Amino acid sequence: MVSKKVGNQTVVFQNPPIVLSGYNVVGPKEGEGPLKGSFDKVLADTYDGEKSWEKTEAKMLETAMREVVNKANVPLVSVDYILAGDLLNQIISSSFAARQIGLPFIGLYGACSTMALSTALGAVLIDGGFASKVICSASSHHDTAERQFRLPTEQGNQRAMYAQWTVTGAGSLLLGNSGAGPKVTSATFGRVIDYGETDTNNMGAAMAPAIADTIINHFSDLNRQPDYYDLIATGDLGSIGLQLVLEILNKSGTKTGINFTDCGVMIFSPKQDTHAGGSGCGCSAVVLTGHILKKIISGELKKILLIGSGSLHSSTSSLQGESIPAIGHAVSIEA
């Protein structure tokens, strides 16, 4: 049997899984941002009628999982697995959403890289012949993440100028082994890399080395140049992290160009006062399933690379003074 693994870290799919549909739900702040036209559902407020933000997040994710299947016009029972993850302890949003749906569930934790991770693993399952349809999802909620990782939402505090704003949103892709649509062509699984950043407000700086490492390995494994892609979007490094990645890549001899961007930079406008842009699993999830997927379908983009970026600390590890390990997973989607 021919190995599908290429180089050190990359897999190339022989029967590339097809993106049958994408669906996303976002919060009100994201719904006012530059990408507002690309979202399927915008919540009127951050609670959406629920008693806690944790419930709201699970409900958003459940909606994204159900609607992505409806949108593709296939029965829910024909789906083999749900692959999903989020930021909360024990990934409760994903498990609670999957509880409502009743399909086999594979819970993932990749912090903000989760959307790229779930898409990559979903594609592996399908190309390997272990599934015919898979839901790949991720979610985050600004207020649940603030509570867990930072301070209570009502506590007065001045956020650092380089801090990012966790996106409220959930996104799903439905991957299948047959049908029409863009294809997931390859995936590069990242390594955990830690360059010693300890400031949990500066996530972009913590994640940039891991993302740069994955990007360099992706191109060297596949023997490609960055201009192969129309768009190279990092998960959610924010404006500081994006600058850092470009600088690292330039210093490491990888040519960067205008096709490099970042989901966290795209989702908010500077006027929205989020400082360095968006973050959270939901950020790359809603930008991929909304803006990017729509542009691929409309033909504006032909080949894209998404590098989900996750910082793998917990509130305990950062209180104990540990530095922040990070990871980047890349998936390429081609029309």
Partner 1 sequence: MFYNILPAFIVGGLICVIGQLLMDLTKANITPAHVLVIFVTSGVILGGLGLYEPLVRIGGAGATVPLSGFGNTLAQGAIAGAQEKGFLGAFSGGIEAGAVGIAAAVLFGYLTAVVFNPKG
Partner 2 sequence: MKEIRELYNKRGEKMNQSNLRPPTINLTPKEYKEITQRISPKPKVLKNVIMAFLVGGLICSFGQILINFYMNYTGLSKIAAQMAGTASLILLGALLTGLGVYDKIVKIGGAGGIVPVTGFANSMVSPALEYKREGYVFGVGGKLFTVAGPILVYGIVTSIIVGISYSIINWF
* Window contacting partner 1 (CB under 8 A); options: 75-83, 112-120, 196-204, 261-269: 196-204
- Secondary structure letter of residue 193 according to DSSP: B
Return the one option of partner 1, partner 2, none that residue 316 interacts with (CB less than 5 to 8 A, by type).
Answer: none
Residues with Cβ within 8 Å of 264's Cβ and at least 6 positions away in sequence, in order, are 164, 167, 204, 235, 236, 237, 238, 239, 241, 242, 276, 277, 278, 279, 283
The torsion defined by the Cα of 212, 216, 222 and 224, in degrees rounded to 10, comes to 100
Report the alpha-carbon distance of residue 22 to residue 290 in Å, rounded.
7
139 binds partner 1 (CB under 8 A): no
Assess 70 for contact with partner 1 (CB under 8 A).
no
Please return the burial class of 1, using the count of CB atoms within 10 Å of its CB with bins 0-12, 13-18 and 19+.
Answer: exposed
- In angstroms, the CA 263 to CA 285 distance is 9
Q: Residue 298's binding partner, choosing from partner 2, partner 1, none, with beta-carbon cut-off 5 to 8 A by kind?
A: none
Contact between 37 and partner 1 by CB under 8 A: the answer reads no
Q: Which residues bind partner 2 (CB under 8 A)?
A: 8, 51-52, 54, 147, 151-162, 191, 193-197, 202, 205, 209, 212-213, 216-217, 220, 240, 243-244, 247-248, 251-253
Rg from Cα positions in the chain: 18
Contact with partner 1 (CB under 8 A): which of 46, 94, 118, 172? 46
- Name the minimum Å distance from CB 201 to partner 1: 6
Please select the residue that binds partner 1; options are 201, 243, 269, 323, rule is CB under 8 A: 201
Query: Could you say which of partner 1, partner 2, none residue 271 binds, taking C-beta under 5 to 8 angstroms by partner kind?
Result: none
Amino acid in position 294: K
The verdict on 158 binding partner 1 (CB under 8 A) reads yes
